[in-house]
Structure 1
Amino acid sequence: MRNLLDSSLYYFSVVAQSGSLTAATDKLGATVSALSRHIAKLEGDVGAPLFERHARGMVLSDAGRMLLRYAQSSLADGQAVMSAIQGDLTRRERNLRIACTEGFALDFLPNSLAAFYAQHPDAVIAIEVTSSDGASRMLVDGDAAIALSFSLKPEPDVVARLTLPAPVMALMSRDHPLAARPSIALADLHPHPVLLQDTGTTIRQLFDIACNVEGIDVVTPITSRYVASLYRFTQVIPGAIMLSGFMSVANRLEADGLVAVPFASSLLQQRRLQVKTSATRPLTGLATLCLDHLIADLQRTQARHPQPA
């Protein structure tokens, strides 16, 4: 609190409570002459003596008692302000905002962050679901500390802390006619209903390009911006195939009776998964711990990724 109070006023309050300049020097680590100068300065500022000097010590004058009440009140106010500031900093340290595309929010992040939260129960985590471009904008604008998204090209003002291959996969039921194949071609999709995300996603962009290059026309009875809806449609529409990334569904495939089969098309293998942070804003301690946790979890999950034949 001393730094929030004028030095002379602080020294005066210690002298007043100590009863003498000599006693105050032990607490302040200052010389008697230095304390005398501070007291003289204050007396000159207020225009009245602050102490009555006696042989046994110094006794506050009426002006001194009023000034001491002011000094004590200022110290109390300063303590309250510092406590509020420290409390706000603590709350900020505990808060963590993560931006991601919907695929990560479907399954990976709930499982991964549940494990992180078990280790850090004081954390307050917010997940913002947006587009890949939107996740990067949130980093640049300071609205998120960490972003998980898919990328086809480098982005300015963000740092990729982890980059993994994230090829487009064909998600289907375990008993689907194509489920046992090590990989499938775009032409293999022709007899089956294909479920696609809206245009603008990296999966849809690559799929449309690959179909144009190969001259393939597929049946797309349902499109949606919501990955969770398409995932459910894959379970209930006979023969349906959903285009997905493996990371989005890795932890739930077996329980839901689904498999993810790689595509043989090289175009559908060009997508990259990235964990990103701002290039200019440092991470808090909690965010750094979470970043390390997510990277390790992604690497473990990636090791289970099916590879095209």
Structure 2
Amino acid sequence: MEPLALRYFREVAAHGSVRHAAERMFVAQSAVSRQITLLETELGVPLFERHARGMLITEAGQLLLQYSNDLRTRFDELRGMIQEYETLRRGHAEIACVEGLMTSFMPEAIHGFSHANPAISMGVITIGSQAVAEAVAEHRYDLGVLFGSAPRSDLVELARMPQPLYAVVSPSHPLAHRSRCTLADIAPYPVVLPDRSFVIRQLVDRVCVTRKLSLSRMVETNTLAFAQMLVTGSSTHVSFLPVDLLTPSIKQGTLVGLSMDEPSLKSGHVTLVASRTRKLSLAANHLANYLAERMAAKRRPRAR
């Protein structure tokens, strides 16, 4: 892939002699000299100073040598990537994800990716959005999926997916017959809230302050699955869950989701992020592209 003239030039630069370069490459000295002359003619500058004892590379020649070395390095990287691709995309990727996507989206995505890329192993962990951002920025994980937008400048957003928040009640709850509600409608009922490490909680608290509302906090928890179970077994409790976590329970008829008449809650989204300062491995890049495609194709489902 390297041009013949550059190969001859590299050998002359390395040995300081046309004769030595020709001997190493098993060609005539005239062939080497001709290629060097053609390069100098094309570039319009001398690449070597000719002396009785050999060839001394010029400053312009040094620039060309650096270019030639960079070209070979990039080609070696390309060859390695192609070889990795041809060996069934082998490798390993690590991803950190918020809990709200661990019920539906992430299991389906990981299953689909594993089927298409059986030689790539993965590590998946569930942590809060802030912890996801820190883990990816500190290169402890290749990729992250967090609620809301990337909170740090050293993260790059690769894809977004709508993830509105719904008020969640059991089918026996007084609000269950409704399709939508406000926080004022929820205020009279005991509420199960995720703790303040969750972006969900931060959004709800922000709306409460804006609307000058106070919710009847009954339980505070660090897991959405527990909040979901408490609401499922109660005719009075209310909680707030992202649509991806909520959808399976709605299909089973064990929970009812009420659309919130609050723009900041209805417009919620999750974001796929990577470190801005880290080059993804080929395996991690394949996973990132796959997740981005799935997030782009994911239609916003109806919550009821």
Give the structure-2-normalised TM-score.
Answer: 0.65
Matched, 1:116 2:113: yes
2:181 paired with 1:217? no
Contact 2:171/2:253 (CA < 8 Å) preserved in 1? no
Residue 270 of structure 1 and its aligned partner are, at CA, apart by 5.1
Report the alpha carbon displacement of residue 184 of structure 1 after superposing the two structures with TM: 0.5
Q: How big is each residue's C-alpha offset from its partner over 1:22-79, in whole Å with a ceiling of 9 and x where there is no partner?
A: xxxxxx9759xxxxxxxxxxxxxxxxxxxxxxxxxxxxxxxxxxxxxxxxxxxxxxxx
Q: Which runs of 5+ in 2 are unaligned?
A: 1-23, 28-82
- The alignment status of 1:104 with 2:101, answered yes or no, reads yes
- Letter aligned with residue 220 of structure 1: R
1:189 aligns with 2:189: no
The answer to whether structure 1 residue 177 and structure 2 residue 186 are counterparts is no
Which of 282, 285, 288 pairs up with 2:279?
282
Q: Percent identity?
A: 22
Q: Which residue of 1 aligns with 2:157?
A: 160
CA distance, structure 2, for counterparts of residue 194 and residue 161 of structure 1 = 34
Matching residue's letter, 1:259 = V
Count of aligned positions:
224
Pick the structure with greater CA Rg: 1
Q: Contact (CA 8 Å) 1:151, 1:274: kept in 2 or not? A: yes
Distance in structure 1 (CA, Å) of the matches to 2:122 and 2:249: 23
CA distance in 2, matches of 1:144, 1:154: 16
Which of 289, 294, 303 aligns to 2:291? It is 294
The alpha carbon displacement at 1:198 in A equals 0.4
Counterpart contact for 1:101–1:132, Cα < 8 Å: yes
Asked if the contact 2:149–2:271 (Cα under 8 Å) also holds between the matched residues in 1, the reply is no
Q: Secondary structure at the match of 1:221?
A: strand
CA distance in structure 2 between the aligned counterparts of 1:161 and 1:152, rounded to whole angstroms: 11
Query: Is the deviation greater in 153-162 or in 173-182?
Result: 173-182
Conservation of the 8 A alpha-carbon contact between 2:160 and 2:295: no
Is 1:202 the counterpart of 2:199 in the alignment?
A: yes
Q: 2-side partners of 1:291 and 1:153: how far apart? A: 16
Aligned-partner Cα distance in 2 for 1:95–1:280: 19
CA distance in 2, matches of 1:146, 1:278: 8
Distance 2:298 2:246 in 1: 10
User: How far, CA to CA, are the matches of 1:153 and 1:285 in structure 2?
Assistant: 23
- Taking the aligned partners of 1:299 and 1:306, their CA distance within structure 2 comes to 19
- Gaps of at least 5 residues in structure 1 are 1-27, 32-85
Answer whether contact 1:93 1:284 (CA < 8 A) is retained.
Answer: no
**Within 2, Cα distance between the matches of 1:152 and 1:233?**
29
Where 1:177 maps in the other structure, the secondary structure is: coil
Q: Deviations over 1:212-243 (max 9, x none)?
A: 22222222211100111111112112232221
CA drift of 1:174 comes to 3.5
Structure 2 CA distance, aligned partners of 1:126 and 1:154?
23
Question: Any residues of structure 2 matched to 1:1-309 within 5 Å, and which?
Answer: 93-151=90-148, 154-255=151-252, 257-269=254-266, 271-306=268-303
CA distance in 1, matches of 2:149, 2:285: 25
2:150, 2:157 within 8 Å by CA — same for their partners in 1? no
- Give the distance between the partners of 1:30 and 1:177, measured in 2 at CA: 91
Cα distance, 1:140–1:269 mapped onto 2, change above 3 Å:
same
Deviations 1:69-113 (A, max 9, x none): xxxxxxxxxxxxxxxxx99xx9x9521110112222344312321
Q: CA deviation at 1:125?
A: 1.2
Aligned residue identity for 2:133: S
- Compute the displacement of 1:281 (Å): 1.8
Q: Output the CA distance in 2 between the equivalents of 1:175 and 1:254.
A: 16
Distance, in Å, in 2 between the alignment partners of 1:151 and 1:142 is 20
Distance in structure 2 (CA, Å) of the matches to 1:242 and 1:125: 32
Judged with a 3 Å threshold, the aligned counterparts in structure 2 of structure 1 residues 269 and 169 are, in CA distance, closer, same or farther, namely same
For residues 293 and 253 of structure 1, the distance between their equivalents in structure 2, rounded to whole angstroms, comes to 27
Q: Distance in 2 between matches of 1:114 and 1:252?
A: 21
